[in-house]
């Protein structure tokens, strides 16, 4: 399946006010697409739309909470009314919580699932109703947490596991129907976005992301590649693919890495905004965060994986390295597993 050139597409992006969503919106507009921006932060969206239109692009913004199906339907309705429809729908909106699962309130857990899982479900189902006739691309942004669990981000990992299961089931159903819709799951590793600062934080330290960290533009490039040249799954960040492959090879060894993973998610400064943006929007409009470590310029693995002839060799090499890495870092008691 191949879709229209990006310059002929209308692209809907949820979570477009910051991070990966904003990077994707800007890149899509630069490549000639008409973009529909959706998020809770109306002021930020209005500024982004003005920015895009100021350089000759075409954009529309719709204030919406993806956890509310009526809001999501309104995004689709506005896109159809303004641009006559849409060709690609990208579900990016998401949130996280840092802390022990048993210490987090039910209200916070429920809000995260409402955004990450139900937001993706609503967006996907609304999108495919429109795309079923004319064809197009549905792109869901999962995470390497769709395949891995992270202590102190347990409900985030649970939501991304669920997004993967939903996305794969929906893909299969659309294939049975012979629907002209491609379904792609994008799985970023650690990405330099404001996600840690915007997360609900129960820890006594400011949250961080485990290195290596990749730029949000790398995810945006993968998303927009899939909008034209569909792929089933795309890992963004070779390190993420390595950890997933290594965990599959030696799951017990990965389990014993819990203390190290927790330590890598804490910065050496007190929390700055523990409430975050889980329940209400906060100032937005930026793609990057402020990680205390170096941010990679690109991901050679991801760039190669977007070209099918390079994928097989890359997967073999990454999987081998991952397995050796995990075996080397696991405690001696792994032999009893």
Would you call 311 exposed, middle or buried from its count of C-beta atoms within 10 A (0-12, 13-18, 19+)? Answer: middle
- Please give the share of the chain, as a percent, with pLDDT higher than 70: 91
Q: What is the DSSP letter of 36?
A: E
**pLDDT of residue 319 exceeding 90:** no
Half-sphere exposure (CA, 13 Å, Cβ side) for 18? 24
For the chain, give the mean pLDDT: 92
pLDDT digits (tens, 9 = 90+) for 246-303: 999 999 999 999 999 999 999 999 999 999 999 999 999 999 999 999 999 999 999 9
Examine the residue annotation and report whether 301 is marked as an active-site residue of this protein: no
pLDDT digits (tens, 9 = 90+) for 73-82: 999 999 999 9
**Distance from CA of residue 188 to its chain's centroid?**
6
Domain boundaries, the chain: 6-329
- Nearest-CA neighbor of 144 among 290, 253, 11, 261? 261
* Fold that domain 6-329 belongs to in CATH: Rossmann fold (3.40.50)
Q: Looking at beta carbons, which pairs linking 330-335 to residues 24 or more positions away fall under 8 Å?
A: 330/250, 330/252, 330/253, 330/256, 330/257, 331/256, 333/256, 334/250, 334/252, 334/253, 334/256
59: helix, strand or coil:
strand
Specify the pLDDT at position 242: 95
Residue given tokens 């921006």 in the structure block: 37
Question: Token digits for 146?
Answer: 């769709």
pLDDT digits (tens, 9 = 90+) for 91-148: 999 999 999 999 999 999 999 999 999 999 999 999 999 999 899 999 999 999 999 9
Beta-bridge partners for 35: 11, 59
Count of beta carbons in the 10 Å neighbourhood of residue 51 = 15
What's the pLDDT band for 307 if we cut at 50, 70, 90?
A: confident
- What is the rounded CA–CA span in Å between residue 269 and residue 206? 6
What's the pLDDT band for 305 if we cut at 50, 70, 90?
A: very high
Distances (CA, A) of 226 to 20, 89, 244, 264: 15, 11, 21, 31
Q: What is the DSSP letter of 97?
A: E
- Please give the share of the chain, as a percent, with pLDDT higher than 90: 90
Q: Please state at what angle helix 216-228 crosses helix 19-30, rounded to 10 degrees.
A: 50
Q: Check if the beta carbon of residue 121 is closer than 8 Å to that of residue 163.
A: no
pTM summary value = 0.91
What's the pLDDT band for 2 if we cut at 50, 70, 90?
A: confident
125: helix, strand or coil:
helix
Q: Check if the beta carbon of residue 17 is closer than 8 Å to that of residue 44.
A: yes
pLDDT digits (tens, 9 = 90+) for 138-187: 999 999 999 999 999 999 999 999 999 999 999 999 999 999 999 999 99
Non-local CB neighbours of 317 within 8 Å, separated by 6+ positions:
none
């Amino acid at each position: 399946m191949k879709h229209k050139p990006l310059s002929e597409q209308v692209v809907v992006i949820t979570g477009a006010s910051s991070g990966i969503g904003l990077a994707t919106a800007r890149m899509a507009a630069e490549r000639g697409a008409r973009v529909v921006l959706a998020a809770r932060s109306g002021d930020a969206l209005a500024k982004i739309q003005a920015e895009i239109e100021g350089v000759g692009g075409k954009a529309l913004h719709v204030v919406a909470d993806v956890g509310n199906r009526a809001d999501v339907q309104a995004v689709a309705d506005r896109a159809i009314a303004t641009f006559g429809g849409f060709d690609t729908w990208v579900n990016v909106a998401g949130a996280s919580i840092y802390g022990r699962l048993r210490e987090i309130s039910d209200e916070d857990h429920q809000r995260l699932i409402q955004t990450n899982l139900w937001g993706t479900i609503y967006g996907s189902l609304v999108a495919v109703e429109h795309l079923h006739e004319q064809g197009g691309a549905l792109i869901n942004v999962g995470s390497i947490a769709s395949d891995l669990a992270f202590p102190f981000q347990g409900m985030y990992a649970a939501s991304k596991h669920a997004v993967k299961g939903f996305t794969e089931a929906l893909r299969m159903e659309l294939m049975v129907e012979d629907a002209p819709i491609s379904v792609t799951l994008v799985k970023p590793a650690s990405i330099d976005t404001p996600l840690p600062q915007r997360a609900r934080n129960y820890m006594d330290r400011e949250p961080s992301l485990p290195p290596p960290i990749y730029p949000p533009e790398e995810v945006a490039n993968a998303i927009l590649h899939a909008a034209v040249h569909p792929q089933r799954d795309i890992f963004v960040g070779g390190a993420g693919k390595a950890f997933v492959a290594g965990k599959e090879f030696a799951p017990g060894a990965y389990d014993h890495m819990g203390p190290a993973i927790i330590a890598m998610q804490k910065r050496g400064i007190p929390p700055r905004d523990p409430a975050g943006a889980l329940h209400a929007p906060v100032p937005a409009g930026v793609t990057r965060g402020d990680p205390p470590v170096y941010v990679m310029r690109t991901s050679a693995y991801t760039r190669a994986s977007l070209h099918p002839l390079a994928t097989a060799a890359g997967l073999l090499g990454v999987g081998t390295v991952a397995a050796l890495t995990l075996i080397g870092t696991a405690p001696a008691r792994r032999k009893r597993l």
